[in-house]
């Protein structure tokens, strides 16, 4: 019997799940709407049924060894989702327990960026690295830090919140309640806010002047920048300068081999990588200069959240084996 895991990514809109083998092959994947369910337990019931059906429907004989879940505000130590801002269910949700009971396997929970970091280590571009960082650029900015080959979870299971380090103490308002957080500048929402700031400050014509804040997205800004739109190009320059400058501070903490950029904004390639690298280098303490790579994630595809979540299980099993040798 071949061992498989299930990776689940609970997002505000969709809950994606997939059956994954040790080599990172996604044998089956599907998606259900997250918030169409009245109670969170209804979502769990649907998920449990879908997972059972998926494994039963596979060609051959498979043994489910564990489930990994990535979710905003996922707590690794407690197996809970705590006060998620992107879900309608509030408070503390005992997710691991709710999934583990009917399926009879261990369930590991972490936040989506930490799952991405473990995914990068197990299946991605960090397979031979022990010290690296993954920055996920989605609606917000998430981060997962790996040191000594292990995910840094921290004392309370909430390490890696670089999105809420401060760029400007009198800066943009953030969902977290603070001002000037990195993610208010560097994320899908952040670059949109920057475009609007630049449109306000400058006189240059821009194709983005015809698009409302609600309609504007990263893809439009990227395409405009590729076509040479000055405001769009400057918005990437501005984002990269702020990201690179802050990453220099992060390097001084954990001295990583590489920092991987994952998701939305990172797909713009040189537009975001060039200014990020330039401004990180300039702001690094000289001892670190020329030593730290900024690279695209090795998991830039649809299945990445599922792979990231499932990798939690493989990583956990391997750590257990290591200790019991």
Residue 248 found at the interface with a second copy (CB under 8 A): yes
Please, what is the minimum distance in Å from the beta carbon of residue 301 to a second copy? 27
**252-255: long-range contacts (C-beta < 8 A, 24 or more apart)?**
252/284, 252/285, 252/288, 254/131, 254/133, 254/145, 254/147, 254/152, 255/131, 255/288, 255/292
Whichever of 46 and 161 has its CB closer to a second copy, that residue is 161
Q: How far apart are CA 64 and CA 7, in angstroms?
A: 11
For position 177 contacting a second copy by CB under 8 A, the verdict is yes
Q: How far apart are CA 214 and CA 223, in angstroms?
A: 17
Q: Answer yes or no whether residue 250 interacts with a second copy by CB under 8 A.
A: yes
Residue 126 three-state SS: coil
| Sheet hosting strand 92-93, strand order edge to edge | 74-75, 80-82, 92-93
Residue 55 or 159: the one with the smaller Cβ distance to a second copy is: 159
Backbone angles phi, psi at 69, to 5 degrees: -130, 130
Work out which of 16, 164, 192, 241 binds a second copy, going by CB under 8 A.
164
Quick count: other Cβ atoms within 10 Å of Cβ 319?
12
Q: x-or-dash pattern for a second copy, window 127-146, by CB under 8 A? A: --xxxx------------x-
Both tokens of 149, joined, read: 């080959």
Among the listed ranges 16-24, 96-104, 173-181, 235-243, the one in contact with a second copy (CB under 8 A) is: 173-181
**Closer to a second copy by Cβ: residue 178 or 193:** 178
- Taking CB under 8 A as the criterion, the residue among 288, 295, 296, 298 binding a second copy is 288
Q: Tell me whether residue 57 or residue 154 sits nearer to a second copy (CB atom).
A: 154
CA 134 to chain centre: 8
E-only strand ranges, 124-252: 132-137, 141-147, 150-151
Measured from the CB atom, the residue of 226 and 285 that comes closer to a second copy is: 285
Report the nearest approach of a second copy to the CB of residue 196 (Å).
25
With CB under 8 A as the contact rule, which of the stretches 60-68, 89-97, 212-220, 279-287 interacts with a second copy? 279-287
Q: How far is the CB of 156 from a second copy (least distance, A)?
A: 6
């Amino acid at each position: 019997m071949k061992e498989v895991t299930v990776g689940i990514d609970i997002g505000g809109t969709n809950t994606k799940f997939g059956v994954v083998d040790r080599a990172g092959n996604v044998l089956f994947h599907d998606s259900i709407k997250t918030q169409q369910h009245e109670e969170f337990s209804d979502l769990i019931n649907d998920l449990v049924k879908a997972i059972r059906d998926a494994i039963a429907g596979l060609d051959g004989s498979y043994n489910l060894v564990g489930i990994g879940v990535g979710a905003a505000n996922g707590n690794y130590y407690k197996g809970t989702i705590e006060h998620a801002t992107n879900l309608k269910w509030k408070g503390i949700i005992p997710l691991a327990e709710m999934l583990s009971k009917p399926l009879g396997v261990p369930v590991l929970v972490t936040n989506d960026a930490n799952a991405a970091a473990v995914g990068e280590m197990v299946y991605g571009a960090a397979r031979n690295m022990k010290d690296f960082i993954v920055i996920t650029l989605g609606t917000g900015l998430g981060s997962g830090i790996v040191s000594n080959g292990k995910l840094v979870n921290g004392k309370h299971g909430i390490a890696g919140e670089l999105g809420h380090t401060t760029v400007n103490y009198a800066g943009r308002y953030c969902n977290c309640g603070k001002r000037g957080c990195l993610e208010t500048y560097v994320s899908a929402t952040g670059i949109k806010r920057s475009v609007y700031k630049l449109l306000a400050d400058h006189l240059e014509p821009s194709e983005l002047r015809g698009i409302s804040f609600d309609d504007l997205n990263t893809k439009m800004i990227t395409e405009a920048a590729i076509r040479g739109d000055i405001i769009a190009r400057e918005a990437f320059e501005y984002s990269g300068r702020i990201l690179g400058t802050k990453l220099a501070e992060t390097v001084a903490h954990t001295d990583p081999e590489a920092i991987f950029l994952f998701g939305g904004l990172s797909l713009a390639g040189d537009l975001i990588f060039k200014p990020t690298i330039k401004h990180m280098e300039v702001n690094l303490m000289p001892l670190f200069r020329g030593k730290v790579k900024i690279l695209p994630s090795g998991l830039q595809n649809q299945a990445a959240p599922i792979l990231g979540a499932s990798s939690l299980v493989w990583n956990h099993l391997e750590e257990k084996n290591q200790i019991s040798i």
